Amino acid sequence: MSILVDWATRVMVQGITGHAGSFHARQMLACGTQVVAGVTPGKGGTVFQAEGEGWGAKVPVFDTAADAVHETGANASAIFVPAASAADAILEAADAGAPLVVCITEGIPALDVARAKHTIGPRGVRLIGPNCPGVMTPGQSKVGIIPASITAPGRVGVVSRSGTLTYEAIWQLTGLGLGQSTAVGIGGDAIVGSSFTDILELFERDDATDAVVLIGEIGGSAEEDAARFIRERMTKPVVAFIAGRHAPPGKRMGHAGAIVAGSAGTADEKIRVLREAGVTIAENPAKIGERVRDVL
Amino acid sequence: MYVHEYQARSILSSRGVNVPRGEVASTPARAAEAFDRLACGRAVVKAQVHAGGRGKAGGIVLVAGRREAEQAARRLLGSTLVTSQTGPRGRPVEKVLVAEALDIRAEYYLSVSLDRTRACPVLVASSRGGVDIEELGRTEPGAIVTEYGNPFTGVEPFQARKVFDALGLDGALMGPMTGLIRTLGAAFIDLDCSLIELNPLARCADGQLAAADVKMSFDDSAIARHPEIADLRDPSQEDPRETEAARHDLSYVGLDGQIGCMVNGAGLAMATMDLLALHGGEPANFLDVGGNATAEKVAAAFRLISRDERVRAILVNIFGGIVRCDLIAEGILTAVREIDLAVPLVVRLEGTRAEEGRAALADSGLRILAADSFDGAARQAVEAARP
């Protein structure tokens, strides 16, 4: 078991012929992911060729997501299309019947994401991202851009708003011999498809996960919502690091979502409520892995 | 992206929102002329800066004559206004708004912003205008009315009526108030706003509603499709280092410490600042070279950091997930040679091809402190920055 993606996940890559899409489609294939289709409007009927040491793959490219799902049975989408058309790509994937849509693209207008979320939510489609590194179950499947080389199969779940800080945490875990059940980057934007709470709920139910690392940051109230869920419903241990304790208020710290407005969204407040909910706080971002070892 | 009050007024006024008559002026003489043209007894001269808290900081002056208007403008123009929201460096005042002083009978608060959890615009209103709304939310949450709209049309008519009802306004204002609420909701959607705030919204002696102060900000990710909004950008209100960084597609926020930071990824960059502080150091900046850092971006980042005179040490923290550390090392070496770096440099490279990267730095003959861990790197940088 694991959450969201596993051996059976059949991935279509929207934007597979672009720079990022083609690079990461190869990376996904290289770690054993079933990439079954690509979507690039106007390039339907062509074949995306990927080769590496000891493996090779030919992925059919379709004009529409509907064709891709119909022809290949794709059940997850990884979106690498430019920001201006990424929300449309999310809607297209959902319309085609993909139950899991992972949007890697950064810089999509917030209201576009809000509209897409409201449209696909009632259909039961799960959106991860945008502006995220995606989802990976080490040794089974990767839908996104998390570097496979730093991961290892195991029993720690990871959920994060960040990209490279997630890699840092995964790398610390792997270095301590603590593999990961599934790692999920939910994205750094103000509006994202899935919240910490959504993913914690999945980890709580997952037989293959023993503990969860939550990596939050300043801005919004997703960590506070997560704290409420952890206090009321979570039985597995949670270790958290919250980035941005020393960020100045009112400034956008790289991520569109990382901004402290007034006293809302400060790291100190998030840490306080998480601690109250029984979460182990890693004060030092270099010791996230060690704190997980402590609670296991 | 923020705009000035006078610009926000003009955007809303063009959509039918009633704002007090006024003119923007960039010299004391123009301010005096503006006062004359208003032909009213009293006016307010308001410093135009991208920050709230102007009233308490002396940036809003009530004047009762041409001479007073001129004097107020002379005092404000060319000055630097420090408010509770600007940070210690303040913002330069290059323009003032001269607006008629209203005969206010009651003040309300009205705003539309984005609710992150529900992914929709949220309308916040209160019959206690002119206050710090967050403070009011803490002390008297019952005085605040909240209504969640939708990301397609903004606010539906029935929702506007609910808010009107909760504010307890006179029935004669039903039409104007619900119209105003719907206009704000529609503007929020049309213009990809992050915030529209009327504080206070005034009910005047003549019975009319007027937006006595207007604040608007916009979603940076959507600015490209609103060129008319993009044109309103005022670089004088931004940190020049941030403007320069944006040109190189770097994300930079200037701070007041001594340790320059260069990190790939926003979360890791914030964590690096936090770790420096944990070890007793103070970051000079937040700088994210991006998840896909290139040698060129690294070089540009170095030039930016090394121009900051407060910087006494530089910490580079790169986690090579997708990016290759050997390429980053190349960028670091190019930049260090080019700018003849005078302060200690601590580098931590981890991830893809980190060993090759570290070897390249070690073989360069340059004085670069190689750190073998995230924690060790922060400690070394704090140590190196000590006077």
Q: Do A83 and B375 touch (CB under 8 A)?
A: no
**Angstroms from A108 CA to nearest CA on chain B:** 6
pLDDT at A258: 62
Q: Do A262 and B134 touch (CB under 8 A)?
A: yes
Q: Do B374 and A190 touch (CB under 8 A)?
A: no
Write the pLDDT tens digit of every residue in B282-295: 999 999 988 667 77
Summarize the confidence of residues B73-101 as an average pLDDT: 92
Residues of A in contact with B274 (CB under 8 A): 243-246, 267, 285
Q: Do A248 and B87 touch (CB under 8 A)?
A: yes
Q: Do B119 and A117 touch (CB under 8 A)?
A: yes
Q: Do B378 and A286 touch (CB under 8 A)?
A: yes
Determine the residue type at B366: L
Do B28 and B93 lie in a common domain?
Answer: yes
Q: Smallest Cβ distance to B221: which of A107, A248, A264?
A: A107
Q: Do A111 and B264 touch (CB under 8 A)?
A: no
Work out the mean pLDDT of chain B and round it to a whole number. Answer: 92
d(CA A193, CA A144): 15
Among B2, B85, B112, B116, most A C-beta atoms within 10 A, so best to mutate, is B116
Q: Smallest Cβ distance to A111: which of B189, B291, B350?
A: B189
Identify which of A70, A51, A73, A49 has the alpha carbon closest to the alpha carbon of residue A60: A49
**Angstroms from A26 CA to nearest CA on chain B:** 12
> B239 to chain A: nearest residue by CA?
A251
Q: Establish how many alpha carbons lie within 13 A of residue A111's alpha carbon, considering only the half-sphere containing its beta carbon.
A: 27
Write the pLDDT tens digit of every residue in B279-327: 999 999 999 988 667 778 888 898 889 888 899 999 999 998 777 888 8
Give the range of the structural domain holding residue A68, as residue numbers without chain letter.
10-128
Which CATH number do you get for residue B163?
3.30.470.20
d(CA B168, CA A57): 67
Do B13 and B145 lie in a common domain?
Answer: yes
Torsion of CA A38, A42, A44, A49, to 10 degrees: -50
Q: How many residues does chain B have?
A: 387
Please report which helix (H) or strand (E) contains residue A230, including its range: helix A222-233
Residues of A in contact with B265 (CB under 8 A): 162-165, 167, 254
Please report which helix (H) or strand (E) contains residue B320, including its range: strand B313-320
Residues of A in contact with B263 (CB under 8 A): 164
pLDDT at A257: 63
pLDDT at A52: 74
Q: Smallest Cβ distance to A164: which of B117, B224, B321?
A: B321
Residue A184 reports pLDDT greater than 70: yes
Which CATH number do you get for residue A165?
3.40.50.261
Summarize the confidence of residues B54-83 as an average pLDDT: 95
Residue B60 reports pLDDT greater than 70: yes
Could you list the active site residues of B?
109, 197
Secondary structure of residue A225 in the 3-state scheme: helix
Residues of B in contact with A249 (CB under 8 A): 85
Q: How many residues does chain A have?
A: 296
CB A186 within 8 A of CB A144: no
d(CA A274, CA A277): 5
Do B44 and B89 lie in a common domain?
Answer: yes
The residues, any chain, with a CB within 8 Å of residue B125's CB and separated by 6 or more, are B108, B109, B110, B111, B144, B145, B147, B163, B166, B167, B181
Which CATH number do you get for residue A111?
3.40.50.720
Do B311 and B376 lie in a common domain?
Answer: yes
Residues of B in contact with A251 (CB under 8 A): 253, 286
> A223 to chain B: nearest residue by CA?
B117
Count of domains observed in chain A: 2
Do A103 and A27 lie in a common domain?
Answer: yes
| A187, A292, B59 from A227: Cα distances, Å | 18, 18, 41
User: With 0-12 CB in 10 A as exposed, 13-18 as middle and 19+ as buried, what is A15?
Assistant: buried
List strand residue ranges (DSSP E) for A63-171, in order: 76-79, 100-103, 126-128, 134-137, 141-144, 153-160
| B43, B45, B241 from B70: Cα distances, Å | 11, 9, 34
pLDDT at B245: 86
CB B19 within 8 A of CB B12: yes
Write the pLDDT tens digit of every residue in A232-244: 999 999 999 999 9
Do A156 and A91 lie in a common domain?
Answer: no
Residue A31 reports pLDDT greater than 70: yes
Q: Do A244 and B192 touch (CB under 8 A)?
A: no
CB A65 within 8 A of CB A28: no
Residue A193 reports pLDDT greater than 90: yes
d(CA B22, CA B32): 12
Do A114 and A190 lie in a common domain?
Answer: no
Strands ordered across the beta sheet of B251-254:
B251-254, B285-288, B259-263, B313-320, B345-351, B368-370
Quote ipTM for the complex. Answer: 0.91
Look at the block and give the residue holding tokens 């890699």.
Answer: A167
Residue A262 reports pLDDT greater than 60: no
Q: Which of B219, B238, B257 is the last residue of a domain?
A: B238
| β pairing state of A211-217 and A141-144 | unpaired
* Residue A255 backbone class (left: φ over 0; alpha: ψ -120 to 50; beta: rest): beta
Partners of B100 in the β-ladder: B43
| β pairing state of B209-211 and B144-148 | unpaired
Q: Do A109 and B192 touch (CB under 8 A)?
A: yes
Q: Do B268 and A215 touch (CB under 8 A)?
A: no
Do A163 and A283 lie in a common domain?
Answer: yes
Among B274, B294, B372, most A C-beta atoms within 10 A, so best to mutate, is B274
- The percent of residues above 70 in pLDDT, for chain B, comes to 99
Residue A134 belongs to a domain: no
**Angstroms from A70 CA to nearest CA on chain B:** 30
Secondary structure of residue B252 in the 3-state scheme: strand
| Pairs across A and B, CB distance < 8 A | 180
Residue A1 belongs to a domain: no
Torsion of CA B379, B286, B246, A105, to 10 degrees: 100
Q: Smallest Cβ distance to B134: which of A83, A252, A264?
A: A264
Partners of A102 in the β-ladder: A78, A128
Could you list the active site residues of A?
255
Q: Do A115 and B152 touch (CB under 8 A)?
A: yes
Do B269 and B331 lie in a common domain?
Answer: yes
Instruction: For A294, list phi and psi in degrees, rounded to 5.
Output: -60, -40
Q: Which of B56, B80, B101 is the last residue of a domain?
A: B101
DSSP-assigned letters across all residues of A173-201: HHHTT--EEEEEE--SSSS-SS-HHHHHH
Do A220 and A116 lie in a common domain?
Answer: no
> A161 to chain B: nearest residue by CA?
B267
**Angstroms from A241 CA to nearest CA on chain B:** 9
Do B95 and B35 lie in a common domain?
Answer: yes
Please report which helix (H) or strand (E) contains residue B339, including its range: helix B325-339
pLDDT at B129: 87
**Angstroms from A261 CA to nearest CA on chain B:** 9
Do A113 and A155 lie in a common domain?
Answer: no
Count of domains observed in chain B: 3
Summarize the confidence of residues A187-214 as an average pLDDT: 96
d(CA B344, CA B369): 8
CB A207 within 8 A of CB A180: no
d(CA A121, CA A118): 5
The residues, any chain, with a CB within 8 Å of residue A15's CB and separated by 6 or more, are A21, A39, A40, A79, A80, A81, A82, A89
Do B210 and B256 lie in a common domain?
Answer: no
Write the pLDDT tens digit of every residue in A280-292: 999 999 999 999 9
Do B259 and B365 lie in a common domain?
Answer: yes
d(CA B59, CA B76): 7
Work out the mean pLDDT of chain A and round it to a whole number. Answer: 93
pTM for the full model? 0.93
Q: Do A118 and B119 touch (CB under 8 A)?
A: yes
Give the range of the structural domain holding residue B333, as residue numbers without chain letter.
239-385
Secondary structure of residue B107 in the 3-state scheme: strand
Summarize the confidence of residues B7-28 as an average pLDDT: 97
Residue A142 belongs to a domain: no
Residue A254 reports pLDDT greater than 70: no
Summarize the confidence of residues B202-226 as an average pLDDT: 95
Do B65 and B205 lie in a common domain?
Answer: no
Which CATH number do you get for residue B255?
3.40.50.261
Among B85, B237, B238, B270, most A C-beta atoms within 10 A, so best to mutate, is B270
